[in-house]
């Protein structure tokens, strides 16, 4: 037996419970802090607001929450331009508010992940002037043809020094040079700071951009389209040298060292078959093949099978960067999408509001995000009233349709999207480990999870189930003959052995 002085290595100090790779099958809820809950009436969501809504997450049954950036930022990229990695933006609160949120989440058994935006800083981060050698520079104009993700060249002139700096995203986001050991040390310090406060892990931003070609060679023209959406100018080149460098391990090993057993979730914007080197150091990586797959059985099944072999992918269908799932699939299919997301083997990420079927909005009259992503960032809809229960002041972005969609209207309704999410999250714990894709009608996605079979019908006609069994969850009424309606999904508990 272990003595009191010898804690079980599988037990984390956090009251949130055992650390033992909970993320392998964990459900993580993404909070976009600006739009979740405002507590002080300034129209901007904040940390005390999030704390006040933790019971919603506990009721849903999620294992963890991920906070999009909460750090001080001039907001050129909605907080993904960090001006101070070890503080909280005053719009969101204070470090004490953060500690309180963390403790309140842990008290509910919910782990907390932060967004680690370490490929670049804000141009207003003091490092940019104090440590120019932590960034990537060229003296005589742009040294290559690299393009920035949001359009335009990836090099801009710094008028103060007369030199050119690299930025993979907006010009206000200069890239850090991860080949410089001091950068690795500085970010390790940031990771240590938050770990010391008790955070459980990090979603690591733009990982494939952290290390680039050391010779800064030109990217060749793209001969085939990149499989995911890109800005048209950015898509003209094949990003052979401006991202996804074979030496990425030097950055990720440093992060892994600093993170210890805190979970590292990679935002690696690459196809499944290129995630291998990243998963040597990260615990898990989002699968963008799945997120960007057309809503058709064939492509989705291919995305699922190429991700499933990696074993450590995070399934995701919406986030703050792309259209919400309910706006991307045919009417009614968002329920089937939820069933698919939450029954696949591995970590699953839910974007705030998807659990009530929120749709994209019109964005702001004067865009907050120059790249047009406001539409996916409208406030969370808690109540059916015009302010959605989000803020007593004027919301920074208007709620979309709270009279139609809200937590309050759905939480008592067993047929609601919200009830479906909750039921699916609970059911996950009963699904067997691993999965096996089943041969089925071309309109169906079907796989086995132990004694259970999951089937989603993407055809426009009812289809027979791929196996016999008792429906334990269905997103629409199943016919007397067991046929699955179009755009519906079902989890069957198999007759075999069960």
Residues with active-site annotation: 205, 267
State yes or no: residue 376 binds ligand NOJ (CB under 6 A): no
Give the chain's radius of gyration (CA, Å). 23
Task: Tell me whether residue 190 or residue 206 sits nearer to ligand NOJ (CB atom).
Answer: 206
Of all residues in the shown chain, the one whose CB is closest to ligand NOJ is 80
Sign, CA dihedral 96-97-102-103, equals: positive
Tell which one of 21, 247, 321, 383 touches ligand NOJ (CB under 6 A).
Answer: 321
Tokens of 155: 């090099």
Task: Tell me whether residue 63 or residue 267 sits nearer to ligand NOJ (CB atom).
Answer: 267
Report d(CA 35, CA 184) in Å as an integer. Answer: 32
Q: How far is the CB of 243 from ligand NOJ (least distance, A)?
A: 12
Q: How far is the CB of 321 from ligand NOJ (least distance, A)?
A: 5
Task: Tell me whether residue 38 or residue 267 sits nearer to ligand NOJ (CB atom).
Answer: 267
Q: How far is CA 324 from CA 76, 291, 317, 357, 358, in A?
A: 22, 10, 7, 9, 8
Owner of token pair 């699953």: 348
Report d(CA 54, CA 65) in Å as an integer. Answer: 10
Task: Tell me whether residue 243 or residue 452 sits nearer to ligand NOJ (CB atom).
Answer: 243
Task: Tell me whether residue 56 or residue 378 sits nearer to ligand NOJ (CB atom).
Answer: 378
x/- site string to ligand NOJ, residues 424 to 453, per CB under 6 A? Answer: ------------------------------
Q: How far is the CB of 308 from ligand NOJ (least distance, A)?
A: 24
State yes or no: residue 80 binds ligand NOJ (CB under 6 A): yes
Q: Within positions 1 to 20, which residues make up the interface with ligand NOJ, using CB under 6 A?
A: none
Q: How far is the CB of 95 from ligand NOJ (least distance, A)?
A: 23
Task: Tell me whether residue 29 or residue 80 sits nearer to ligand NOJ (CB atom).
Answer: 80
Tell which one of 62, 113, 117, 270 touches ligand NOJ (CB under 6 A).
Answer: 117
Tokens of 133: 């050698």
Q: How far is CA 92 from CA 39, 46, 81, 170, 374, in A?
A: 10, 4, 15, 23, 19
Report d(CA 155, CA 163) in Å as an integer. Answer: 10
State yes or no: residue 63 binds ligand NOJ (CB under 6 A): no
State yes or no: residue 288 binds ligand NOJ (CB under 6 A): no
Burial of 12 (0-12, 13-18, 19+ CB in 10 A): buried
State yes or no: residue 77 binds ligand NOJ (CB under 6 A): yes
State yes or no: residue 89 binds ligand NOJ (CB under 6 A): no
State yes or no: residue 267 binds ligand NOJ (CB under 6 A): yes
Task: Tell me whether residue 77 or residue 97 sits nearer to ligand NOJ (CB atom).
Answer: 77
Report d(CA 129, CA 121) in Å as an integer. Answer: 12
Nearest residue to 115 (alpha-carbon basis) of 183, 76, 67: 67
Q: How far is the CB of 56 from ligand NOJ (least distance, A)?
A: 23
Tell which one of 92, 169, 396, 447 touches ligand NOJ (CB under 6 A).
Answer: 169
Helices and strands in the chain: count of H runs, count of E runs: 14, 16
Q: How far is the CB of 373 from ligand NOJ (least distance, A)?
A: 7
Report d(CA 449, CA 97) in Å as an integer. Answer: 41
Site size toward ligand NOJ (CB under 6 A) is 9
Q: How far is the CB of 475 from ligand NOJ (least distance, A)?
A: 29
State yes or no: residue 124 binds ligand NOJ (CB under 6 A): no
Report d(CA 395, CA 43) in Å as an integer. Answer: 4
CA atoms within 13 A on the CB side of 43: 7
Tokens of 139: 């003296």
Buried/exposed code over 183-200 (b: 16+ C-beta within 10 A; e: otherwise): bbebbbebbeebbeebbb
Task: Tell me whether residue 56 or residue 320 sits nearer to ligand NOJ (CB atom).
Answer: 320
x/- site string to ligand NOJ, residues 170 to 209, per CB under 6 A? Answer: -----------------------------------xx---
Residues that bind ligand NOJ (CB under 6 A): 77, 80, 117, 169, 205-206, 267, 320-321
């Amino acid at each position: 037996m272990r003595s009191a002085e010898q804690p079980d290595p599988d037990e984390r100090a956090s009251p949130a419970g055992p650390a033992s790779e909970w993320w392998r099958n964990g459900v993580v809820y993404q909070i976009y802090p600006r739009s979740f809950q405002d507590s002080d009436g300034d129209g901007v969501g904040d940390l005390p607001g999030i704390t006040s809504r933790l019971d919603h997450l506990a009721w849903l049954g999620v294992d963890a929450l991920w906070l999009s950036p909460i750090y001080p930022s001039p907001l050129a990229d909605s907080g993904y331009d960090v001006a101070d990695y070890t503080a909280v933006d005053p719009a969101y609160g204070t470090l004490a508010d953060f500690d309180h949120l963390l403790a309140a989440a842990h008290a509910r058994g919910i782990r907390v992940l932060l967004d680690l935006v370490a490929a670049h800083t804000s141009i207003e981060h003091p490092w940019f002037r104090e440590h120019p050698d932590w960034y990537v520079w060229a003296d005589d104009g742009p040294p290559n043809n690299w393009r920035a993700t949001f359009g335009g060249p990836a090099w801009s002139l710094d008028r103060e020094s007369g030199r050119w700096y690299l930025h993979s995203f907006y010009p206000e986001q200069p890239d850090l040079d991860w080949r410089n050991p001091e950068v690795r040390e500085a970010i390790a310090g940031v990771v240590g700071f938050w770990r010391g406060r008790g955070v459980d892990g990090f979603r690591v931003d733009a990982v494939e951009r952290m290390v680039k070609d050391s010779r800064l060679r030109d990217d060749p023209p793209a001969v085939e389209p990149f499989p995911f959406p890109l800005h048209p100018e950015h898509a003209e080149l094949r990003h052979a040298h401006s991202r996804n460098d074979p030496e990425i391990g030097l950055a990720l090993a440093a992060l892994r060292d600093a993170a210890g057993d805190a979970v590292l979730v990679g935002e690696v914007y690459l196809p499944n078959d290129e995630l291998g080197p990243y998963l040597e150091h990260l615990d898990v990586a989002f699968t963008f093949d799945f997120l960007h797959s057309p809503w058709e059985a064939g492509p989705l099944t291919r995305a699922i099978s190429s991700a499933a072999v990696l074993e450590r992918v995070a399934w995701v269908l919406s986030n703050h960067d792309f259209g919400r799932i309910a706006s991307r699939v045919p009417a009614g299919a968002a329920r089937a999408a939820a069933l698919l997301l939450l029954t696949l083997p591995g970590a699953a990420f839910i974007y705030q509001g998807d659990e009530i079927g929120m749709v994209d909005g019109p964005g702001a009259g004067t865009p907050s995000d120059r790249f047009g992503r406001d539409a996916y960032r409208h406030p969370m809809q808690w109540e059916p009233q015009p302010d959605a229960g989000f803020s007593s002041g004027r919301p920074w972005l208007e709620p979309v349709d709270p009279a139609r969609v809200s937590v309050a209207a759905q939480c008592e309704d067993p047929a609601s999207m919200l009830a479906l999410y909750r039921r699916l999250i609970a059911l996950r714990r009963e699904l067997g480990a691993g999965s096996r894709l089943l041969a089925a009608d071309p309109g169906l996605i079907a796989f086995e999870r132990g004694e259970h079979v999951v089937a989603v019908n993407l055809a426009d006609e009812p289809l027979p189930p791929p196996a016999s069994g008792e429906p334990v969850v269905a997103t629409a009424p199943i016919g007397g003959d067991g046929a699955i309606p179009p755009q519906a999904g079902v989890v069957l508990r198999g007759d075999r052995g069960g």
